[in-house]
Amino acid sequence: MLGLTPAEWDAVGLSLRVAGVATLVSLPFGILTGLALARGRFWGKSALDVVVHLPLVLPPVVTGYVLLILFGRRGPIGSFLEETFGIVLAFRWTGAALAAAVMGFPLMVRAIRLAIEAVDPRLEQAAGTLGAGRMATFLLVTLPLALPGVIAGAVLGFAKAMGEFGATITFVANIPGETRTLPTAVYTALQVPGGEASAIRLTIIAIVIAVGALVASEILARRARRRVAGL
């Protein structure tokens, strides 16, 4: 189909894997951070807000470089991970997933935070009078009611992860089969004479995936909204 070369299929598959892992792994953290920012009252909340939003405003190359400094094999976190768990992120697809997750995180948290803020706190209060603790209230009341926003956040994070370029190429370079994701593959194709055909094929794939993700999220969110609206 579309006459993709094996290398191009590699890039598409890798991008889906990177974006999927980045979204799934960051989602629990995104929900916790969104909850903390929406309902928490603690010292350093503004600082957390700023840190979460940094990747949105920093040049992606800078974010990638910071990741390289921290998570590189000689970086403080990177060397710890390698020595303790044998996990290497630099110049691996897992590093690409980390970069994608970091870049998508602010968008994901923003959507989740707004959704949690929109949940009527009086319902949570009612759950409390019925004997529910904080955890039960969150899992049984707040989270189900915020679900459409959580889905939207996950899709935003996934889309951002699919398209991530600057931080990825800075942190994990552009290694065919390992870190050459769809955007870096398009970029690479455009660097060689006669690569336009490959770039166009990959671009079409990117559009298809993006539209597919949007449609899927809309279906999920509609279902969740209907449930939340109690219809």
Partner 1 sequence: MTLEVVARHEVPGFTLDVAFSAGAGVTALFGRSGAGKSTLAGIVAGLVRPKAGRVVLDGEVLFDTVAGIAVPARRRRIGVVFQEGRLFPHMTVEQNLLFGRRFRSGSSGREGMAAITELLGIERLLDRRPRTLSGGEQQRVAIGRALLMDPRALILDEPLASIDVPRRAEILPYLDRLKREMRVPILYVSHAIEEIARLADTVVVLEAGRVVAAGPAADVIARHGLPSLSPSEEGVFLLATVDRTVAGQGTILRHAAGELTVPVVAAPPGTVLRVRIHARDVALAVGEPGRLSFRNRLPATVSGIAAGDGDAVTVALDVGGSPLLARITRDAVADLDIRAGSRVIALMKAVAVEGY
**What residues line the site for partner 1 (CB under 8 A)?**
120, 122-123, 125-133, 136, 140-141, 144-145, 227-231
Looking at the Cβ atoms of 150 and 182, the one nearer to partner 1 is 150
Count of C-beta atoms within a 10 Å radius of residue 123: 13
CB of 136 to partner 1, least distance (A): 7
Angle between helix 93-117 and helix 45-57 axes, rounded to 10 deg: 130
Count of C-beta atoms within a 10 Å radius of residue 162: 23
CB of 224 to partner 1, least distance (A): 9
Helices of type H across the chain: 6-39, 45-57, 60-71, 76-85, 93-117, 121-129, 134-137, 143-163, 166-172, 182-191, 196-229
Looking at the Cβ atoms of 6 and 122, the one nearer to partner 1 is 122
Looking at the Cβ atoms of 20 and 144, the one nearer to partner 1 is 144
Looking at the Cβ atoms of 53 and 225, the one nearer to partner 1 is 225
Helix (H, G, I), strand (E, B) or coil at 149: helix
Looking at the Cβ atoms of 57 and 122, the one nearer to partner 1 is 122
For 226, the enclosing helix (H) or strand (E) is: helix 196-229
CB of 122 to partner 1, least distance (A): 6
CB of 191 to partner 1, least distance (A): 51
Contacts of 183 (CB under 8 A, 6+ apart): 15, 162, 163, 164, 165, 168, 206
CB of 39 to partner 1, least distance (A): 16
